A and B are shown apart, each in its own frame.
Chain A
Amino acid sequence: MNLTRSILLFLLFSYPIILFGQDNLTITGTVIDDKGLPLPGASIVLKNGTTGTQTDFDGNYTLANIPNNSTLVYSYIGFSPKEITVDGNTTIDVTLLPDTQNLDEVVVVGYGTQKKADLTGSIVSVSTEEIEKTISANPVQSLQGKVAGVQIVSPGTPGASPTVRIRGLGTFSNATSLLYVVDGMFYSNIDFLNPNDIKSMNILKDASSSAIYGVRAANGVIIIETKSGSKNRKPQIEYNGYTGIQRAQNVLKMANAEQFTTMALESGSSADAQFILNAMQRYGRSRVNPNIPDVNTDWYDEIMRDGIIQNHSLSVTGGTENVSYSTGINYFTQEGLLDMKNKYERFNIRSKLDVDVTDNLKIGVNTVFSNATQYAPENSAWFKAYFAVPILPVFDAQNTEATPNSYANARALGYRGTQNPFPDMAYNENRLKIRKLLANFYAETDLIPEKLTFKTTYNLDFSALEERYVNLPYNMGFGDERRSSINRQQNNFFNQIWDNTLTYTDKIGEDHNITLLAGASYRDEEANRFGATGSDIAGIDYETSWYLNFADPLTFNNNVNESNSRIYGQSYFGRLSYNFKDRYLVYGTFRADRSSKFTQEQWGYFPSVGLGWVVSQEPFLQESNFLDFFKLRASWGRLGNDNVPASSGANTITNTTVDLGDTPVTGVTATSTFTDLTWEVVEELDFGFNLTTLNSRLSLDADYYIRDTENAIMPVYIPIANVTVNRNSGVIRNSGIEVAASWSDNINEDFSYSIGANITTVKNETISLEDERGYIDSGSAEFRQRTLVGEPLYAFYGYQTTGVYQNQAEIDNDPVAQNVIAEGQNIEPGYFKYRDANGDGFINDEDRMVLGSFLPKFTYGGNIGLNYKQFGFTMDFYGQTGNKILNRKRGEVIFTNDTNMDADLAINRWHGEGTSNSYPSSAGLRNSWNQRLSNFWVEDGDFFRIQNVQLSYTLKGDQLKGKFPDFKFTLTAERPLTLFSYNGFNPEVSDGVDRQTYPVPAIYTFGVNVKL
């Protein structure tokens, strides 16, 4: 019985079925791909017949009994099939070309795959070339500008992950991270993945596509598969690497010593004039202009350097008859632009093994181990470099108290703080060791052969984040002294998921294709944080003693803490996918999720449906050559967001210490309010179409969506108790249009080109909220961000300036100014004029309005690709408009008004009638009248950027007449040019508040790819 069954199975598996026919020709040949590599397992069948075979390991085949004038069909998954008439030939070698428009192309969806043609939702796949081309440690970075509806905000810090938003911002809480499903495991961050190891990256944009992930899917889902081997394939060894240099671009020009001195003297503050004199006394007078000190420090220039970036990957993939494997190692390193110990290093080991144990049992093991070290920057240096006065040198030999380095201290000149950013850089070391292990195991068996499959998968993610922040001791003179201390944090995460699925696939009659999936999943997510701080480290001069056991034990008192959280999740889910004649598509999913995060309703239910109509498959269009493919689709779904803080469900206790009679005494305090939350629910409608036309050269995808977050968790302010409690109390809407178009054509054998473009609009709007005040404030009182119904989340909220008072007469004739002066406010020429929005004759709170949001309203991206013989050229660009940035660096003048400012502000200041109608005077800048948050401080964040330019040259091994490997050389410029008007050096600010944003460098690399 067993043997019979095995043979039967073998026959079923071996497609096509071999049968014997009449005796004619025997044909042999090789099937290769466009790169000249053999295609093992390609199928060759006699057209309109049943005879056929498959190529062997080296792409060779032999086919007997073929009639002389018949036609053979060569096909291979992912390649365009080819038909060749035998015409008496007994040797037929075939080259198959990859088919980008293949209707049989399969897309990974949750817990399975689906034919791309059958999709009713909005799923975008990003190719490995796009991922590998981007110079970044993090694969997500490559999505920037490439996928409509996906916003990526790049970080400058080495090792940091970009901010990713799919279809706007749908949650008020910090729970914005999307779900990455890496080979079945859930992640909120994929900084441990080597971009070269990724086989496919699918972005599930609409609710219908992602609803199978229920409670974790609300912010969007990206499914990532790592590379696997394929059976019957010779081992392929591949090296992929690049080395390059990074350079800061668009560095903000600061006021120099002369401009600064002018501003200080014009402020009318005698103290400031004194500080300038102090500087001249201490450091001498400039020979060029004896009225300014002989120091002119460009702080940004001082704190920055160029950095090196490198990436090296080595992989081996292949397979035998029953086993396929893929394994590799990768090393990545990137230096930061900040001139301190600031870099990121990552070493990865990966292996994936799939084994056919028996005919009916497949198992697989997949592991990725990542060992990374990040030396994090001391970001305060960026901020200090902005406000440190240019009349302060880096070093000051007269500051003899300063040890170990004689850094200059601005207090020597009379300023309130030390200002100098160098101590922050020189005396801090922030090391994070990030070790992550992803491991999973699956077993798959057919319960009903070819129809019903059971698969069980166990995934685990173990992450250990070891943080060590070393504060070296120093003395800056003037009482600015610091003792040594070490802060250690250990964060361990242990997450497990166990999935069990049953998949039933069947074809009923000729026209009904059906796939059913049912599954159950169990999640266990544990996080533990342990931290301790100790001071007065013995032997602090030696890194070998940077451990807490060298700290003064007394200093641990109250500086040791631990917290733990463990969340369980339990889910049942199902999917139905049905198509009738490949024309009418019906899709539905359902997921029931339970999460222990919530104290009241633990169960949530997330359904979705999708409908599609493949118009091009209709008989009346099938004869038309114009439409290659045309599909209309509509979908609806509900998603959950449980990525929010767990509910406490009860008042909780905290220990506190107080001094009673010079003795520390411990007491307890209790909370008076507590959270009792449930999921945020996203409900989304999506309409779209996919069109391919003009001989598959033009493709056009478009979507319109409305995405509502209900039960949005909002921090509701409880007056009197003076606490803010999260409650499910708001509705947020994101809506917009996404269009992606691409054109590609081969002019001749040697020359081909492609052009692509995509645009995205996002309208972010608060539909409702429940707060006694009718709004929710965020930001600080001075830099107010307010969420109001009908407006975007976290909108900047302040006054509208209408100009600058040019002279006294203008003030005297302005009734509003007179009213304000009568209230005691001083107004002088050089002060802002504000719009009296409510027309009551006064300028007060009621005149504030929404000044804009940090979310771009419109983003666009595009690419051009040219291939000529062995040369390739690609260029990508990206831009966004409609977002605002709060120039918080400038805003610091509110708190400390005697410090430096950017050159734009110094040069364009009002300094006499007609000199400016948009910038205040130096004195005005220091007056609270002008310091109110207004459109002066909130700037346009629009930018356009050349994202990536790459030139490549490919050298085929066979062109070198021998068993040489294939080479590909690349020159890449990553983000070489950015155009913007914002007064900062980086228009990419994830939350729109630019205080100490790390600059994003331009990167120039040389890369090599070798395949053996």
Chain B
Amino acid sequence: MNTIKQNFKPWFAVLSACFILLSCSDRFDDREGQLNADDLDYSDTDNMIQALVGAYNIIATRGWEEPLLLSVRGDDVNAGGLGDQQPFTDTDNFIYDQNYWMYNSLWNVHYGDIVNLNTEIELINNFKDLATPEDAQTADQYIAEITVLRAWLHFNLARVFQDVFIIETTQPDGEIANGVATKDEVMQYIITQMDAAIPLLPNLRPNERTDIPGGVTRFTAMAIKAMAQLELQDYTGVASTTGEIINSGKFSLYDDFYGLFKKPGELSNESLFELQFSDFGNSTGDSFYHLLAPFGPQGWTPARENASGGWGFYEPSLKFIKFMLDRGETTRLESSVLFTDRGIAELQTDPNYATLPSFVSNTTRDGDVINDYARALFASGKHYLPSVQLTEGRNDYGGGKNMIVIRYAEILLMYAEAVTRGGTPNGISADQAVNLIRTRANMPTVTGVTSEDVMEEKFAELALEWGIRYYDMIRLDNYTELSYDGRTFTADDEYLPYPQAQVDALPLGGTNSNQ
């Protein structure tokens, strides 16, 4: 009896230990430090806009290599000299390497963002399920905006890789199994998507929006639709869609061509789609930048001290500069090219260009001096922000400068091209459209413009922007223009090969047309 009493306490301790262990069980389902998507309060539609804002974050966070790779192959621009990133230079020379990381990155980041945009649509749909009819309408508008952003990514992919997947879900296994769509199917898909989105979107110029300043409007959707129609060479369609934008009367060209690509030209009345970056005028703290250094000159003496230079990866071609000089271009050439002394000397080796206009100088209008550097002769003026426009205390090259994706000038020229190729004019004439452009550029007006005239005008106006020139040339099978400076372009150079990593992972049949 005593023994039992003696031993009672330890036994009790053992039993209570086990009991306490069991009673802790409910803690095992908690996940501390994590916010689940399901835990958002979807009944609070005031928060719905956060998902849309997330979508604008996704579209604006482009890798530095994406704009470069999208546009390097045109006859307007070179990769800069050999050295760092040699396969990038090879790409400029139409020698493609399936293993080059930039190809894979363009594919991955574009598709990854398409899926990310789809998750934002899912989030908005969750709100919509619990929303009032009025809020549901807002939800539809937001989803339409995201659809436009998503269309632009699909558009880029099809332009670069030709036949690509159309992805509308967050779990794309089924869409992958269905295989790739042809480039034409992708363009047709974009047109259908844009047609559905247009009525849901605000009838405003992007800079008129107050909820999302610079956000997508129905004119952005129309512009992307017109670009897809242009790829399909549906000139009637292009004329009609761009005509609608023109006839809205909402858009006008920004007076100062040079300033359009600088701080003052941000979110102008010319802008239909613009990626926005800023340090919000603060010398420290958070900034939201795109890395513009690859576009910049490797060596410079900035007017504002300590401003950083660039990498010299994006060099306007001699062909383009000579073309501009031949035309007697002034503001457009000055705004498009940063000259080095070495570059000027190289130009002057050609006796036709022995004397050059005074603006061809290694000192920019804003006093930045572009020094000679090994990699390239020239740098892009359209991606250049004068150092004096940098926020005090900020040194990144082009820090906080926006990137205009689609501007009214392109719409006017698409319209003019479509009309000269047989599209029905539904407003102004092709001459009028081209002359609007030329007048702003201080060029004499012309009459009786032909398709060739329009293409030259596009070259002069839109050079260095998003590969517009390159995609025009391959659309028109104009390989002669692309065979410049010792390059030879053939039909099988039009599209980049699928990245090897994607061939390994996806049912791409191992080849696209270029392998």
Contact = CB atoms under 8 A, between A and B. Distances in A.
Contacts of B30: 566, 596
Contacts of B408: none
A772 interface: yes
A522 B35 CA distance: 26
A1 interface: yes
B24 interface: yes
B14 A500 contact: yes
A620 B34 CA distance: 66
A692 B118 CA distance: 69
Given A653-B35, A720-B176, A660 B17 contact: no
A512 interface: no
A920 to B, nearest CB: 14
Contacts of A720: 111-112, 114-115, 165, 167, 172, 175-176, 506
A927 B95 CA distance: 14
Interface in B253-278: 266-267, 276-278
B473 interface: no
Interface in A539-564: 552, 554-559, 563-564
Contacts of A960: none
Contacts of B171: 672
A555 B282 CA distance: 9
A536 interface: yes
A772 B504 CA distance: 8
B21 A520 contact: yes
Interface string A268-299: 01110010000000000000000000000000
B34 A652 contact: yes
B38 interface: yes
B115 A447 contact: no
B284 A536 contact: yes
Contacts of A664: 278, 280, 286, 288
A445 interface: yes
A566 B27 CA distance: 10
Contact of B36 (A651, A723, A780, A927): A651
Contact of A445 (B10, B40, B51): B10
Interface in B34-61: 34-40, 49-58, 60
A897 B97 CA distance: 20
A781 B87 CA distance: 13
Contacts of A558: 285-286
B359 interface: no
Contacts of B33: 563-566
A652 B36 contact: yes
Contacts of A781: 99, 101, 104
Which of B109, B299, B302: most chain A Cβ within 10 A?
B299
Given A658-B53, A665-B53, A719 B502 contact: yes
B134 interface: no
Interface in B152-181: 165, 167, 170-172, 175-176
Interface stretch (A642-650, A726-734, A902-910): A642-650
A895 B84 contact: yes
B32 interface: yes
B278 A659 contact: yes
A669 B215 CA distance: 18
A651 B99 contact: no
A594 B115 contact: no
Contacts of B13: 454, 456, 500
A719 B37 contact: no
B236 to A, nearest CB: 34
B467 interface: no
B213 A660 contact: yes
B98 A845 contact: yes
B130 interface: no
A668 B32 contact: no
B51 A721 contact: no
A565 B33 CA distance: 6
Interface string A594-632: 111001001000000000000000000000000000000
Interface in B55-74: 55-58, 60
Nearest to B397: A479
B308 interface: yes
A554 B122 contact: no
B25 A570 contact: yes
A483 B285 CA distance: 12
Interface size class of A (residues with CB under 8 A): 35 or more
B187 to A, nearest CB: 20
B212 interface: yes
Interface residues of B, number: 106
Which of B55, B57, B104, B373: most chain A Cβ within 10 A?
B57
A658 B306 contact: no
A479 B282 contact: no
Contact of A928 (B86, B288, B302, B309): B86
Given A454-B14, A659-B280, A653 B37 contact: yes
A721 B21 contact: no
A799 B232 CA distance: 42
Nearest to A274: B374
Contacts of B108: 722
A125 B83 CA distance: 56
Contact of A661 (B111, B112, B276, B299): B276
B214 to A, nearest CB: 6
B302 A479 contact: yes
A772 B505 contact: yes
A411 to B, nearest CB: 8
Interface in A881-939: 895-898, 926-928
Given A454-B13, A481-B306, A721 B37 contact: no
B24 A522 contact: yes
Contact of A656 (B57, B82, B267): B57
B120 interface: yes
Contacts of A445: 10
Contacts of B298: 416
Given A594-B28, A652-B37, A653-B36, A659 B86 contact: no
Interface in B120-138: 120, 122-123
Contact of B120 (A416, A650, A669, A774): A669
Nearest to B281: A662
B427 interface: no
Contacts of B306: 475, 479, 481
Contacts of B27: 568, 596
Nearest to A931: B86
A773 interface: yes
B501 A777 contact: yes
A637 B307 CA distance: 63
A808 interface: no
Contact of B28 (A568, A653, A657): A568
B57 A667 contact: yes
A540 B481 CA distance: 58
A925 to B, nearest CB: 12
A520 B25 CA distance: 14
A672 B170 CA distance: 6
B10 A522 contact: no
A721 B167 CA distance: 9
A602 B25 CA distance: 11
A414 interface: yes
B2 interface: yes
B29 interface: yes
Contact of B215 (A456, A660, A722): A660
A270 B123 CA distance: 56
A595 B284 CA distance: 44
Interface in B364-395: 373-375, 393, 395
B54 A656 contact: yes
B307 A500 contact: no
A659 B37 contact: no
14 contacts: A1-B2, A456-B17, A596-B28, A651-B36, A652-B35, A656-B57, A657-B288, A658-B57, A667-B52, A667-B56, A668-B40, A670-B119, A720-B172, A720-B506
Given A271-B83, A479-B308, A928-B90, 6 more contacts: A483-B393, A565-B33, A670-B37, A722-B111, A898-B83, A928-B86
